[in-house]
Amino acid sequence: MKTTFILIVSIVSFLAIAYAGDRDYSRLPNIIIITYSGLRNSESIEDPTRQYIDNQNNVMFKEGTLFTNLINVNFEFHMSSVQAINTGLNHRYYGPTVVPTIFQYVRKQYVLPKEKLWSIGHWQHNISAFANKQYGEDTFPEAFEIDDLYVSAGLLKNLNKQELLFLKRYRNLIKQKIFTWPTWDSFAFFQYEIFKKNFLILKPKMVHYIMNSTEIAHSDTFARYVLAIKEADERIFEMWNLIKEHPFYRDNTYFIIVVDHGRDQYYMDHDESSLFKPDRVWMYIYGPDIKRGARVEREVRHVDLFATIAKIMRVKTHYTEGKFLNDCFTGEK
């Protein structure tokens, strides 16, 4: 009888631990994804001078792996690429997902506090459409998105009075339909400053930041478009240096830059993309066991990033169309 009781208690304890997930996430790697929105190869890796991505080219690329042949296999748009990264499946256009995102898998398995996973700057994609609800609304990441200026509670609580007033002003501009591209550009700066401030306070384990400032190309001059690229380069370089120097992130962080799509030959609009004529962009990965100064020219896809992050974070997910990017690692993973 006593043996049976001990056995039952052991089984119940095991199931409770399994249900609760792995609460020890202290050794879990950090993942920082920066999606460069609408950056053409002609102003970045195919520019002989690489003048607009100076910091990435002269410093960062030498310490990580550059994938030069990343293709967007579906409709050339922000969300088709972002959804592919987040879910491991290729989606047509954008809208609610039908499977959990990598955020939800990681958060559920490791029972991470909500403020440890962030979604920043998603374009035309509010948080209710970003994550599948079968894992529950409590598994959504913290968010600061640009479409309706939604800010989740975890990030909102750290804003001061001036920042809250600025946010209110921009929401009023959206309601009045006078949120112009120059206004958008200034908000991109505000968003980055808020991100940087909260980043140091909350120390997230996973971040997907859609850097939208280059979208000014839709409604401004070519000079303003390339200036936005240079500004993004400086912000990305600052973030990269921060994770290299900060004790929480140093030697335990994968820093990823991925371009979502290119543009047409006149820079202002999107080009047409199809399975037969895919949009070709690029991706960069830096981390503790990533090859330094490597260049991979084989064809890869956005869904491959989902598969790679899932393996790094040791989470079991649904079926993915992506494949693990083994050729950027120094050893077996």
Which CATH number do you get for residue 50? 3.40.720.10
Tell which wins on pLDDT, 166 or 31: 31
Give the chain's mean pLDDT. Answer: 83
Please give the tally of structural domains in the chain: 1
Among 247, 327, 317, 320, which residue's Cα sits nearest to residue 295?
327
239 vs 89 pLDDT, higher one: 239
Note the pLDDT tens digit of each residue in 240-281: 999 999 999 999 999 999 999 888 888 888 777 666 677 889
C-alpha–C-alpha distance, residues 261 and 282, integer Å: 9
Tell me the β-bridge partners of 258: 35, 283
23 in any annotated domain: no
pLDDT, average across residues 186-197: 87
What's the full length of the chain, in residues? 333
Q: Which residue has the higher pLDDT, 182 or 7?
A: 182
Q: Is residue 260 part of a domain?
A: yes
The pLDDT assigned to 222 comes to 92
Domain of 156, in residue numbers:
30-328
- State residue 243's pLDDT score: 95
Q: What is the pLDDT of residue 2?
A: 42
- Residue-wise pLDDT tens digits, 64-120: 999 999 988 766 677 788 888 988 988 765 556 678 889 889 998 999 988 899 988
**Residue of 26 and 185 predicted with greater confidence:** 185
Question: Where does the pLDDT of residue 11 fall: very low under 50, low under 70, confident under 90, or very high at 90 and above?
Answer: very low
Question: H-helix or E-strand containing 9?
Answer: helix 2-20
Q: Which is more confident, 272 or 329? A: 329
pLDDT average, residue stretch 145-167: 84
CA nearest to 84, candidates 323, 328, 326, 327 = 323
pLDDT score for 253? 97
CB-facing half-sphere around the CA of 327: CA atoms within 13 A: 12
239 domain residue, yes or no? yes
Residue 64 and residue 56 in contact, taking contact as beta carbons nearer than 8 Å:
no
pLDDT, mean of residues 176-195? 78
Return the higher-pLDDT residue of 196 and 24.
196
Residue at 12 is within a domain: no
pLDDT at position 275: 62
Residue at 270: amino acid letter: H
Contacts of 327 (CB under 8 A, 6+ apart): 65, 294, 296, 298
6 occurs within a structural domain? no
Any domain includes 333: no
* Predicted pLDDT at 19: 38
pLDDT of residue 74: 67
pLDDT score for 96: 62
Please give the structure tokens belonging to residue 16: 């409770």
Place of tokens 């280059």: 214
Q: What is the pLDDT of residue 1?
A: 46
Is residue 10 included in any domain, yes or no?
no
Dihedral of CA atoms 37, 38, 41, 44 in degrees, nearest 10, equals -50
